Amino acid sequence: MKTFLGIFVSVVLGATFCFVFWIVVSHDYQWDAIAPYKGNFISGWWTTLLISAIALVGSILIGALLTSGQLSPWKVPRILSRSFVELIRGTPLLTQILIGYYLVAPAIGWDSRFGVGILVLSCFSGAYLSEIFRGGVESIPSSQWLSAKAIGFTDAQTYRFVVIPQAIRRVLPASAGQFANLIKDSSLLFVISVHEFTMQAREVNANTYATFEAYLPLIFGYFILTFPISLLSRSLEKRFAYEH
């Protein structure tokens, strides 16, 4: 039964991919229309790469901080961290970007589209990573904690040598997916006129009316950014694989 289902799923997915691929490649494209804008795409791609790299580091730091707050033995940090996570996860990223740039940033005298965009992306992704990290830590069996305490480990040593190495392996797939989403979510920064990859494609489309020719490069551009994350995640999964 499993073999039959595997074959059936493979055939359906393969046929669907081939059909969509044929539809895409058989279209009569007018690449000459967007050729003069090649530099715009390259500039936008590098901007997206820079935004994503900085926001990725920031989201990890914010996620780790929020995780510490949620796992804190004190009530106030737990409530504040949990409230922040629920607020961020329960509201649209687009709204957060608009509020961050047009309301919060002017109130503190900060006029940087680039900086505000990175900070909002970091907070948004960090809230999701916090839940992933928390779930990974709490998934470690209590016997591991008791064993560490039995051999005299402090709480810091327990986290460093017992909990974190095992938790990393468990959170990697979900974290890699969130990192990929962060890269794609950066496309929403066009609403505050950050000239990233998608913004450049929109401008090319507006100037040439070549919609498919303007937006198809986004497929390859974002794939080049997200695929290495998947490869790195799988490599780290093998590295942190443990029998127990």
In a domain, 201, yes or no: yes
Q: Does residue 103 sit within a domain?
A: yes
> Taking all residues of the chain, what is their mean pLDDT, rounded to a whole number?
90
Whole-model pTM? 0.87
What letter would DSSP give residue 192?
A: G
Question: Could you tell me if 191 and 98 are in contact, meaning their C-beta atoms sit under 8 angstroms apart?
Answer: yes
**pLDDT (tens digit per residue) in 96-119:** 999 999 999 999 999 899 999 999
Q: Give the whole-angstrom CA distance, residue 210 versus residue 32.
A: 10
Of 65, 203, 186, nearest to 129 (Cα)? 65
Q: Tell which residue, 140, 199, 193, has the closest CA to residue 164.
A: 140
| CA-based nearest residue to 129, from 188, 55, 79 | 55
Task: Please report whether residue 4 resides in a domain.
Answer: no
Provide φ and ψ at 154, rounded to 5°.
Answer: -80, 175
**Tokens read off for 8:** 């059936």
In a domain, 174, yes or no: yes
Mean pLDDT of 142-150: 83
Q: Which of 145, 96, 90, 86 is nearest to 121 (CA)?
A: 96
CATH number at residue 132: 1.10.3720.10
Q: Flag whether 11 is in a domain.
A: no
Number of domains into which the chain is organized: 1
Has residue 73 been placed in a domain?
Answer: yes
Rounded distance between C-alpha atoms, residue 179 and residue 160, angstroms: 24
At 92, list the tokens: 């649209």
End-to-end, the C-alpha distance of the chain in Å comes to 31
pLDDT tens for residues 9-56? Answer: 888 888 888 888 788 777 788 888 899 999 999 999 999 999 999 999
Range of the domain at 206: 45-239
Residue 27 falls inside a structural domain: no
DSSP H helix total and E strand total for the chain: 11, 0
111 phi, psi to nearest 5 deg: -115, 70
| 35, part of any domain | no
